Amino acid sequence: MTEKLHTPVIAWFDIHARDLPWRRPEAGPWGVMVSEFMLQQTPVNRVLPVYEEWLARWPRPADLAKEAPGEAVRAWGRLGYPRRALRLHGAAVAITERHGGDVPTNHSQLLALPGIGEYTAAAVASFAYGQRHAVLDTNVRRVFARAVTGVQYPPNATTAAERRLARELLPQDDGTAARWAAASMELGALVCTAKNEGCGRCPIAPLCAWRLAGKPEHAGPPRRGQTYAGTDRQVRGKLLAVLREAHAPVPQAALDRVWHEPVQRARALDGLVADGLVEPLPGGLYRLPQS
């Protein structure tokens, strides 16, 4: 079963892979790492312009490490989940201090960087260095759930069984394994999508356990939907937008204008301060973090 999946998926990828800047040789390991941080829970079309601006400004980790962390938050713009910007800045500082400014090749060294978990370490090792690692994002998990396990959707959180299956499906050769990781991810992004799956375009449709079972409806726990309007996330975004656009400390009154509900607004601001995304100053002033 394993090799029967590898060959058609990789052949499909060879033809249909999107030409994305982080897949080009000139991106280098740093470009791959930046893309992986930005692409978490954020679609490609939103990431592309920010990615291009980021790499033009900070082509190496040391370039970013020289800047205040608040500049990373400012450049992050409206990508969402801005703590990722702080984590990427922290990783750049660690790479500069511990590894001479070069993204480490070793998986365990990648995992030891601040803000980098198992997924990102495996993705950078695989996509930047061609190593053999199981790279399990939402798209890959959905492909494996359908093609191998025979269910419509994977569990809400990655399980030990999924990790075990991903390792079992890995090709033995490093280069082929890295290509498989990218190809299975692209298949989930373009064909085996969460809605309106394109089985007619899928290279492994004849082997897909879920399709062969008649596409049974999801029987697990309800899938988490993402809401935004009216949430603390939206308020946080509005507060950060004011601070990103300002190049001097901002008074409380300027922040108060962005949201009508004072309790929620105060809670959102307190959360931003606690997360290190906003720095309070004497006199009721606020700014993006400088250290």
Give per-residue pLDDT as tens, 101-115: 999 999 999 999 999
Torsion of CA 14, 134, 44, 198, to 10 degrees: 60
Q: What is the mean pLDDT of the chain?
A: 95
pLDDT above 90 (res 132) = yes
Domains located in the chain, CATH noted: 1-129 (1.10.340.30), 232-287 (1.10.10.10)
The answer to whether 211 and 146 are in contact (CB under 8 A) is yes
Per-residue burial over 210-238, b if 16 or more Cβ lie within 10 Å, else e, is bbeeeeeeeeeeeeeeeeeeeeebebbbe
Span of 1-5, 97-101, 129-133, 141-145 with lowest mean pLDDT: 1-5
Give per-residue pLDDT as tens, 242-272: 999 998 999 999 999 999 999 999 999 999 9
Q: Which residue has the higher pLDDT, 41 or 93?
A: 93
Determine the straight-line distance between the first and last CA of the chain, rounded to whole angstroms: 52
What percent of the chain has a predicted confidence (pLDDT) above 90? Answer: 92
pLDDT above 70 (res 84) = yes
| Residues with active-site annotation | 36
pLDDT above 80 (res 224) = no
